[in-house]
Amino acid sequence: MPMRKRRLMIGLVASMALALGVLFGGQAASAAGADIYGVGGGSINVAGIVKFAKFAFSGHAGPLGDFGSIRFTIEDPTSPLDIHVDVDCVNVFPLPPGGGGWMGGPVKRVTPEPNVFGIASGDQLLIGFNDFGEPSDPISDEWTPILGGESQLCRLLGPAAHFPVTQGNIVVKFE
């Protein structure tokens, strides 16, 4: 292979390797850097017997910002609700004997729309949660949805009491 073509080939291969490293290596590094998070899922009963709501959430604070999702479903046949949220704010902290936190973001999708709660796509949803150990531990984890508020409000809030989780588990990592 002539010297000129060899240099061109080496330059092309090096450029492609650099581009692929930036595209794929950067994503892996940002995902691996998310050490602070709150995740969980479960249900909350009303009066200890009637299942009122189901929830699932995952919020992470990473080097490129906060990210995650929340899903909240009310199962009342007379006023059902299903909300999907893109998380853009995560705040977790120690709360003995475990950890607590807040997260929120804009509602991405809601059904039905309109609904009896007046929630629409683009509205803000904020959740509060507490991790008090495993489901078999004596203190139940806690979770509360709050509609409304401002974007990034979760950063201003600290420890609070929430509704006890009837079934499920929440895990908070703050270090």
Q: Tell me the one-letter amino acid at 57.
A: F
The domain containing residue 17 runs over which residues? 1-32
Q: Looking at the structure, do residues 49 and 133 belong to the same domain, yes or no?
A: yes
Q: How many domains does the chain have?
A: 2
**What pLDDT shows up at residue 13?**
31
Q: Looking at the structure, do residues 40 and 115 belong to the same domain, yes or no?
A: yes
Q: Looking at the structure, do residues 65 and 142 belong to the same domain, yes or no?
A: yes
SS (H, E, C) the chain: CCHHHHHHHHHHHHHHHHHHHHHHHHHHHHHHCCCEEEEEEEEEEECCCEEEEEEEEEEEEECCEEEEEEEEEECCCCCCEEEEEECCEEEEEEECCEEEEEEEEEEEEEECCCCCCCCCCCCEEEEEEEECCCCCCCCCCEEEEEECCCCCHHHHCCCCCCEECCEEEEEEECC
**What pLDDT shows up at residue 64?**
87
CA separation for the pair 69, 58 (Å, rounded): 6
Give which of 164, 155, 103 is closest to 133, Cα–Cα: 164
Per-block mean pLDDT, blocks of 10 residues, the chain (175 long) = 37 32 32 74 84 94 93 90 97 95 97 94 96 92 90 93 95 91
Q: Looking at the structure, do residues 91 and 103 belong to the same domain, yes or no?
A: yes
Q: Looking at the structure, do residues 25 and 62 belong to the same domain, yes or no?
A: no
The model's pTM is 0.78
Q: Looking at the structure, do residues 147 and 85 belong to the same domain, yes or no?
A: yes
